[in-house]
Structure 1
Amino acid sequence: MKLKHIVPLLLLTGVLAQGCVSNKKYAELQSNNTKLQQSNQELNQRLQDSEKEVSGSKIRIKGLEEQLASERSNVAALQTALNKCLASSNQGNVNISKLVDEINSSNKYIQQLVNAKNKSDSLNMVLTNNLTRSLSREEMSDVDVQVLKGVVYISLSDNMLYKSGSYEISDKAGATLAKIAKIIKDYQGYDVLIEGNTDNVPISKPNIRNNWDLSALRASSVVQSLQNNYAVDPKRLTAGGRGEYNTVASNDTDAGKARNRRTQIIITPKLDQFMELIGKAPEAPDKP
């Protein structure tokens, strides 16, 4: 056989061999692509949730700004009235004194609104930083932290907390619970509600009647772990189950069900601490 016939055969053999390798790589790449798409969907959902929270914050800020604008407008009107009183020789000193008091009261209220907004923003930032600074990147994928009006919401996925189909705490949950327990103990005056949630798939266990039972048992497991393993004062702890009825995503997809299967740790200031956080508006001056 001549050399010019041998070379094309060798090239054809090499192309065929390369084609087999490409099919394997293609299958691997396609599998990775599917995983990336699923991860992208979950990240998009978290982005949407964050955008909703940002939207709510903007609405609250707008409300405060509208109050500030209204009070400033009121001050301007009072100042105009005061100027008219000063310009008129027929007005008495009593009316002038009352106008001065009203202006001072309005200015004080404006400052309290500003302080309340700044304090709320600062508190949210401090609490969020304290809760997230000790969590690893891997832990953060199973832990969602939000701070709303001084209340801390820590959402933990069931994959991180429990053994599959069970309410027993898994071994890998210990490190994360230890960090959360430290934060809870740092805020001694706050109450802590542990709230279990499930998806809508019925549970079939001889000792668990339904998802109400499962969610309550899971919350109780976390409460007892915080008490027994991390010395959190049980007087501060409350366990509750909400079954499948407090969804944060659609149960029509596996990703949505995974988000709904969660346990929330809610760290809440007591009433007197709320009053300290938001401040108390001054009483309106008596009308003449």
Structure 2
Amino acid sequence: MDHFVSERQSEILAQLRAKGRVSAHELAQTFDVSEDTVRRDLREMAARGECERVYGGALLSAGQTVPLRVRIADEPDRKAVLGRTVAGLLAEGSAVFFDAGSTNLAIARNLPEGLRLTAITNTPAIAAELAGRAGIELVMIGGKVDPAVGAAIDATAIRQLEAIRPDLCILGACGLTLDEGLAADVFEDAAFKRLASTASKRSLAAITSDKLGLRAAFHVHDLAAPLSLVVEADADAAVVQQLGRQGVEVHRCASAGTINDKRPTRGNTP
């Protein structure tokens, strides 16, 4: 019996790492057991720090992150709208650091043809997207690629980053709260993001609405200038207003399929 429990919990953990969250109801159907049995599994896994219990299921524990290859396939249309909006804000001839993130990959994919940029990234998927693009001078930061983050964030990458001074850092983030700012799930990733932001003249983050109010374990950036944000059309109006009061310029996407609708609240243009 213990053997079967262990196998089931290992499979649940694999689903958590692949998807970021699981449903007790769906797991009960998958394993042909009762929801009470699944909830017991999740309690035991939470006690070991493998997940965080939430109503109806569980989330991947803080300090872990859903692999980039999985996140790329999640809500691609929404991220494309954010990507087009951010692409419309980039200055011709500027040096831009593209941090790891599925939304940042969408930004790279939606850069207008012929835009002249020096694009710097530690993310192979973004580098592959930009390699050979007309007008793009690509600088790849190397090192050991973290399989979950999908980017090089080790000591080698840090040494290379220290020699670069971008005009703009496009940050990826796992969550944003008004009191704690931008945050990430993985300690080393958050540290790399902070260094990239500090090295840059300005920082910008494109945030899907599900990340507004979502806490992550490790601090990345305060909600203050020179940070700018791009949010979705359905972003909470009260949150956007408060961000403006804190000196953050906010650009809201008009709607899905709209290329760009910049609505700066306050602050510096990226």
| Bigger RCO (CA 8 Å, 6+ sep) | 1
When normalised by structure 1's length, the TM-score is 0.30
TM-score by length of 2: 0.31
* Structure (1 or 2) with the greater helix fraction: 1
